[in-house]
Amino acid sequence: MRGATPVRDALDGAMTAIGAAGCETPRLDAEVLFAHVLGVSRERLLTDRDLAIAGPDVRAVQNAVRRRAVEREPVAYITGSRGFRRLELAVDPRALIPRPETELLVELAVAKLPRGARVLDVGTGSGAVALALADERPDLLVSGSDVSEGALELARANGDRLGLRVVWLWADLLAGVPDTFEAIVSNPPYVAESERGGLAPEILRHEPAGALFAGPDGLNVIRPLVAQAGARASVCLLAVEIGAGQAVAVAELVRGAGFESVRAERDLAGIERVVVGQRGGIDARGSQAGESEVGEPGESRDRR
Ligand SMILES: C[S@@+](CC[C@H](N)C(=O)[O-])C[C@H]1O[C@@H](n2cnc3c(N)ncnc32)[C@H](O)[C@@H]1O
């Protein structure tokens, strides 16, 4: 093709630019961006020796690489999508990009919730947790709430596109939320203000601050959420994602709010990532791999 650049040459240039900007995974980033612009799989990008870039694709690739390298935009905001559990979700700066570790929250809820339970995902963002639950457990009655109108619009659009049934609610934590839920799951903001300086530019510049930060110790949202959930007699299961080193403090809050069995579940990196409290109607299951009692003798004090 006249004026066309072989993809591998263009990829090399893009990788160099992205790497020089300080991004951690320049090869992967460049491949994903090229595959997105050209509308081909990453596999084809690497195996089709005849693949070339020409015409408007040249400008589109240059623009995507500039956004990644110069603006430090996350790849998912540039491509507009991110995989989570079995779903491909639309993502944009109105909501946090769903993280792989949050899949643990879904995994636990899928395993622990009884048939037909009414479950609320507080701080639903893109709708990731609520939609994955509706997808994997169609028997559940799933709602998702957020205090951000923009996030709720995105979540609703994801639900409509995926054809998944979730009730969306605007609410500041549980204020004004109907008193009908047996389970609350949440990945709330939990980054301490003091950790702001240590965050990557991708996060700090582009993801919504209201989805990240929660006061001096990172617990300014978790504290009222746990107290409000505990005060509702209908809530038999509370599962909250936490940051590294927060398990002991959050388990104490959950126990103090009236939940009997309180456990911390570790993510694939071995970090205590979700605190689960159960009481009453939902049976407390026995320990599974990765679970540990927190705040009891012999508790983990892992503060990675
Ligand atoms: C860490 S993000 C999680 C988003 C999504 N659940 C996920 O896991 O990708 C936290 C979300 O909580 C929402 N949020 C923050 N404060 C809130 C509050 N007081 N009430 C309800 N939602 C809140 C934010 O707008 C944001 O969408």
**Given 20, 38, 71, which residue is the final one in a domain?**
71
Are 131 and 170 in the same domain?
A: yes
Ordered alpha helix ranges (H), 164-263? 201-206, 222-230, 247-256
- Listed in sequence order, the residues at least 6 apart from 59 whose beta carbon sits closer than 8 Å to its beta carbon are none
Return the half-sphere exposure (C-beta side, CA atoms, 13 A cut-off) of residue 46. Answer: 8
What integer pLDDT is reported at residue 292 of this predicted model? 45
Judge whether 144 lies within some domain.
yes
Q: Is 221 in the pocket of ligand 1 (CB under 6 A)?
A: yes
In this prediction the pTM is: 0.91
Judge whether 238 lies within some domain.
yes
pLDDT tens digits, 215-236? 999 999 999 999 999 999 999 9
What integer pLDDT is reported at residue 49 of this predicted model? 87
Judge whether 254 lies within some domain.
yes
Where residue 54 sits, what CATH number does that domain have?
1.10.8.10
pLDDT tens digits, 145-158? 999 999 999 999 99
Domain that includes residue 238, residue range: 90-293
Are 65 and 157 in the same domain?
A: no
- C-alpha 126 to ligand 1 mean position (Å): 9
Number of domain units in the chain: 2
What integer pLDDT is reported at residue 87 of this predicted model? 98
Are 146 and 285 in the same domain?
A: yes
Full DSSP string of 171-187: -STTTT--S--SEEEE-
Are 151 and 102 in the same domain?
A: yes
Are 31 and 114 in the same domain?
A: no
Which residue has the least CA distance to atom 7 on ligand 1?
A: 98
The DSSP bridge partners found for residue 237 are: 183, 278
Are 29 and 170 in the same domain?
A: no
Which residue has the least CA distance to atom 12 on ligand 1?
A: 123
Judge whether 80 lies within some domain.
no
Q: Is 243 in the pocket of ligand 1 (CB under 6 A)?
A: no
Q: Determine the atom of ligand 1 nearest the C-alpha atom of 121.
A: 6
Are 147 and 192 in the same domain?
A: yes
Positive or negative CA dihedral for 126, 127, 129, 134?
negative
Q: Which residues of the chain carry a pLDDT beneath 70?
A: 1-2, 281-304
Where residue 270 sits, what CATH number does that domain have?
3.40.50.150
Are 198 and 64 in the same domain?
A: no
Are 203 and 238 in the same domain?
A: yes
Q: Is 189 in the pocket of ligand 1 (CB under 6 A)?
A: yes
- Alpha-carbon distance 147 to 211, whole Å? 10
What integer pLDDT is reported at residue 96 of this predicted model? 98
Residue 160, judged by CB atoms within 10 A of its CB (0-12, 13-18, 19+), counts as exposed
